[in-house]
């Protein structure tokens, strides 16, 4: 979700995802999209010009194929604000070929399972990543997002502003991981404590 071409969001590491789901339901949040698998391709130039300028170019497939550009991150009352331009494409493979013809390369593939809920003007997603489960809150501004986090019992001080790929890069450096893609297959059999991500559970310990 983006309003006026802007994305404002934060993430939280979860120790007990079902507990957050119960809180969403108690607050009357509606399920906007049931749990769905996502495959994402992150593109860049061979010299990583986009990454060096803190921008992102992504092609995603879930219920539809979508192309997204994100600008450098800024601060909005403690949340991360980025320009976001996203549109649906009719053919995932053709869109990939199009980007590659322009000189972009796939730098990394990453996967997740995502369920999406609407809470007033905010969107809350439950993201199952290969290295843990997160809540992402996106809304019209940082203050509204902080208020929603409080309603959901999430510790604002434990918010995460880094992208999942930034967390992945941190994890690879700390644990000496040599694989390139953020896939469930690559993480099979690995136990990743939140400390390895530089994170703490924002919902407390699992009951």
Q: Note whether residue 18 is domain-resident.
A: yes
3-state secondary structure of 25: helix
Q: Are 193 and 120 in contact (CB under 8 A)?
A: no
Q: Note whether residue 177 is domain-resident.
A: yes
State the Cα angle at 178 between 200 and 42, rounded to 5°.
75
Q: Note whether residue 193 is domain-resident.
A: no
Q: Are 31 and 17 in contact (CB under 8 A)?
A: no
| Cα-to-chain-centroid distance, residue 110 | 10
From first to last of its 207 residues, the chain has per-residue pLDDT tens of: 556 799 999 999 999 999 999 999 999 999 999 999 999 999 999 999 999 999 999 999 999 999 999 999 999 999 999 999 999 999 999 999 999 999 999 999 999 999 999 999 999 999 999 999 999 999 999 999 999 999 999 999 999 999 999 999 999 999 999 999 999 999 999 999 999 999 999 998 665
Q: Are 60 and 106 in contact (CB under 8 A)?
A: no
Q: Note whether residue 191 is domain-resident.
A: no
3-state secondary structure of 39: strand
CATH number at residue 48: 2.40.320.10
Q: Note whether residue 198 is domain-resident.
A: no
Please give the structure tokens belonging to residue 5. Answer: 């071409």
Supply the range of the domain harboring residue 175.
6-186
Q: Note whether residue 204 is domain-resident.
A: no
Give me the DSSP letters along 126-161: EEEETTEEEEEEE-S-HHHHHHHHHHTT--GGG-B-
- Total domains present in the chain: 1
Q: Note whether residue 206 is domain-resident.
A: no
Q: Note whether residue 30 is domain-resident.
A: yes
Is this prediction's pTM over 0.75?
yes
């Amino acid at each position: 979700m983006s309003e006026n071409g802007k994305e404002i969001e934060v993430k939280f590491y979860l120790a007990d995802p079902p507990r957050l789901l119960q809180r969403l339901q108690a607050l009357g949040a509606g399920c906007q999209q049931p749990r769905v698998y996502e495959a994402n391709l992150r593109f860049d130039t061979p010299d990583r010009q986009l990454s060096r300028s803190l921008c992102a170019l992504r092609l995603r497939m879930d219920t539809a194929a979508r192309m997204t550009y994100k600008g450098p991150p800024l601060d909005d009352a403690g949340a991360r604000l980025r320009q976001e331009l996203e549109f649906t494409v009719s053919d995932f493979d053709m869109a990939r070929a199009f980007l590659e013809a322009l000189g972009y390369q796939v730098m990394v593939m990453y996967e997740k399972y995502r369920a999406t809920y609407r809470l007033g003007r905010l969107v809350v997603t439950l993201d199952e990543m290969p290295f843990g489960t997160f809540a992402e809150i996106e809304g019209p501004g940082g203050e509204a997002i902080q208020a929603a986090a409080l309603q959901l019992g999430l510790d604002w001080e434990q918010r995460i502003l880094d992208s999942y790929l930034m967390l992945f890069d941190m994890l690879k450096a700390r644990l000496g991981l040599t694989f390139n893609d953020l896939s469930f297959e690559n993480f099979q059999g690995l136990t990743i404590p939140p400390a390895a991500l530089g994170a703490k559970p924002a919902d407390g310990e699992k009951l």
